[in-house]
C-alpha cells in the first residue's frame, strides 16, 4: 500500500486530562510521520460543519458542545495505509468495545468522549485536513 495521509484530532477530553504527550508518543511509535499539527479550538460553527454528516443524530448537540469546550490538537499524519491503520490504532468508537492497547481503550471514557478522531476514508482525510490547515502548514 502506498504512503497516504489521514487527519486526527486529540479531542478536548484528552487535552484536559494531559494526554497529549502520551498519545503523540503512541502515534509516533506506530510509524506515523507528523505532516502538520496545531493546538486550536473549534467554534460552534466549525464543529457543526466538521460533523455535518451527523447533524440528524440524537447526539449531535452534545457532540458540538463537547468538541468546542476546550482546545484540541489537530494533526495530519502520513504512513503506508494511513487511514485504515490509524483507525486500527485508535480502536472502536465506544472504548468499551475497543481492543486492548488501542488509544481509545487506553485514554477514552465513553462513546461520546472518546479522546481521538480519525478520518474514515482518503476523501474525508483530504477534506478534514483542508478544514484545519492551509497548504503552507503542511510539511
The catalytic residue positions are 117
Smallest distance, Å, CB 136 to Mg ion?
Answer: 27
Return the one option of Mg ion, ligand UDP, none that residue 24 interacts with (CB less than 5 to 8 A, by type): none
Smallest distance, Å, CB 54 to Mg ion?
Answer: 8
What phi and psi, each to the nearest 5 degrees, are found at residue 56? -90, -5
Tell the burial category of 45 from Cβ atoms under 10 Å away from its Cβ (0-12, 13-18, 19+): exposed
Return the one option of ligand UDP, Mg ion, none that residue 109 interacts with (CB less than 5 to 8 A, by type): none
Instruction: Please pick, from the candidates 78, 120, 122, 137, the single residue that binds ligand UDP as defined by CB under 6 A.
Output: 120
Q: How many residues bind ligand UDP (CB under 6 A)?
A: 9
Q: Which of 44, 49, 40 lies closest to 64 in space, CA to CA?
A: 44
Q: How far, in whole angstroms, is CA 38 from its chain's centroid?
A: 12
Site for ligand UDP in 26-85 (CB under 6 A): 54, 59, 63
Q: What is the 8-class DSSP label of residue 31? A: T
CA dihedral 47, 22, 103, 36 (to 10 degrees): 50
124 part of the interface to ligand UDP, by CB under 6 A:
no
Return the one option of Mg ion, ligand UDP, none that residue 6 interacts with (CB less than 5 to 8 A, by type): none
What does the alpha-carbon distance between residue 99 and residue 121 come to, in Å, rounded to a whole number?
21
Q: Which residues are annotated as a binding site for ATP?
A: 11, 59, 87, 93, 104, 114
Q: Which residues are annotated as a binding site?
A: 11, 59, 87, 93, 104, 114
Amino acid at each position: 500500500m502506498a504512503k497516504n495521509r489521514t487527519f486526527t484530532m486529540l479531542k478536548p477530553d484528552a487535552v484536559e486530562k494531559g494526554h497529549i504527550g502520551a498519545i503523540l508518543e503512541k502515534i509516533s511509535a506506530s510509524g506515523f510521520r507528523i505532516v502538520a499539527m496545531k493546538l486550536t479550538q473549534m467554534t460552534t460553527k466549525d464543529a457543526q460543519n466538521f460533523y455535518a454528516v451527523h447533524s440528524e443524530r440524537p447526539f449531535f448537540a452534545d457532540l458540538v458542545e463537547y468538541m468546542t469546550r476546550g482546545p484540541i490538537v489537530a494533526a495530519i499524519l502520513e504512513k503506508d495505509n494511513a487511514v485504515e491503520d490509524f483507525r486500527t490504532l485508535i480502536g472502536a468508537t465506544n472504548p468499551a468495545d475497543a481492543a486492548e492497547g488501542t488509544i481509545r481503550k487506553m485514554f477514552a471514557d465513553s462513546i461520546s468522549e472518546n479522546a481521538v478522531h480519525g478520518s474514515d476514508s482518503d476523501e474525508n482525510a483530504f477534506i478534514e485536513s483542508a478544514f484545519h490547515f492551509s497548504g503552507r502548514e503542511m510539511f
